[in-house]
Amino acid sequence: MQFHNRGAGIYVPDGTAADAALARTTHLAVAAHQDDIEIMAYHGILECFGRDDKHFTGVTVTNGAGSPRDGLYAHYTDDQMQMVRRLEQKKAAFVGEFSAHVFLDYSSAAVKDADGPHVVEDLKKIIAAMKPQVIYTHNLADKHDTHVAVALRLIRALRELPRDSRPAHVYGCEVWRGLDWLNDDDKVVFNVEAHENIAMSLVGVFDSQIAGGKRYDLATMGRRRANATYFASHSVDQSQAQIYGLDLTPLVQDEKLDIGGYVQGFIDRFREEISGRIAELS
């Protein structure tokens, strides 16, 4: 499969031919950076882990050139950081038994260019080749511009594909902003307590990001534990680890649905819940 950038590529941990590895994919995650998938889409990895009938593939859209660096990596050039981050992502794909991992190798600036057609065209090619059942991406209330841009390019790609290539479910998940604020009726709740050792390893292999003191491994496990414990105040915990998702499926099924207005609906219901409780108890 040919992509726009010369540095793009596909890694298949078990050595299957790339086309076959894409075609068998049932669960897909599309993320901005190396490590985002392991933080936000562990549910998809878990659904497919150790299974013959379900397969997970990751897509990382950017090249990692702009990554922060410290400690062992403080003096690395942008080129060296790209190599390190790609190697770390391959380690995670191997540990997580991914069917394949696709590196699209774009700069952040290219992803944020709303008029640039190439990211959308690359995503269309990948999705048409696999017709996944479920796609995980960034949520549209995330506070990182590149994350939101990736989610918007993905929605555009899916809207431009024939309906039979579109997945049954598209979920926006948590990295640079949790989704605890969503009203409980609006949350998609993923129970991810299984294989906690694998969950920790998947985030832990991204040493270049953790080395500077940002303990994404501990923070990610902590968020999942906090989500599970603080989900319901009057019952015992149903799960020891939860990830929240924002359902993006309606935006993919209805090309005319306004994206900003759809997200605003979640914010409006959140506001109504809080002001309604204060009014009731005053």
Q: What is the DSSP letter of 32?
A: S
Cα–Cα distance for residue pair 250/239, rounded to 1 Å: 28
What is the closest distance, in whole angstroms, from the C-beta atom of residue 81 to Zn ion in the complex? Answer: 14
Our CB check for Zn ion shows the closer of 41 and 155 to be 41
Identify the three-state secondary structure at position 169: strand
Q: Are strands 242-247 and 188-191 parallel, antiparallel or unpaired?
A: antiparallel
Interhelix angle 145-160/118-130, rounded to 10 degrees, is: 60
Our CB check for Zn ion shows the closer of 34 and 57 to be 34
What is the closest distance, in whole angstroms, from the C-beta atom of residue 62 to Zn ion in the complex? Answer: 8
Our CB check for Zn ion shows the closer of 36 and 88 to be 36
Element holding 173 (H helix, E strand)? strand 169-173
What is the closest distance, in whole angstroms, from the C-beta atom of residue 110 to Zn ion in the complex? Answer: 15
Question: Tokens at residue 215, please?
Answer: 């303990």
Our CB check for Zn ion shows the closer of 33 and 224 to be 33
Cα–Cα distance for residue pair 165/144, rounded to 1 Å: 28
| In contact, 150 and 30? CB cutoff 8 Å | yes
Closest residue to Zn ion, based on beta-carbon distance:
33
Contacts with Zn ion by CB under 5 A lie at 32-33, 36
Our CB check for Zn ion shows the closer of 12 and 37 to be 37
Cα–Cα distance for residue pair 183/185, rounded to 1 Å: 5
What is the closest distance, in whole angstroms, from the C-beta atom of residue 142 to Zn ion in the complex? Answer: 9
Give the CB-side neighbour count of residue 51, counting CA atoms within 13 A.
15
Our CB check for Zn ion shows the closer of 122 and 142 to be 142
- Residue carrying structure tokens 């992502």: 89
What is the closest distance, in whole angstroms, from the C-beta atom of residue 174 to Zn ion in the complex? Answer: 11
What is the closest distance, in whole angstroms, from the C-beta atom of residue 116 to Zn ion in the complex? Answer: 19
What is the closest distance, in whole angstroms, from the C-beta atom of residue 234 to Zn ion in the complex? Answer: 35
Our CB check for Zn ion shows the closer of 218 and 274 to be 218
- CA 218, 222, 225: angle at the middle one, nearest 5? 145
Cα–Cα distance for residue pair 61/150, rounded to 1 Å: 8
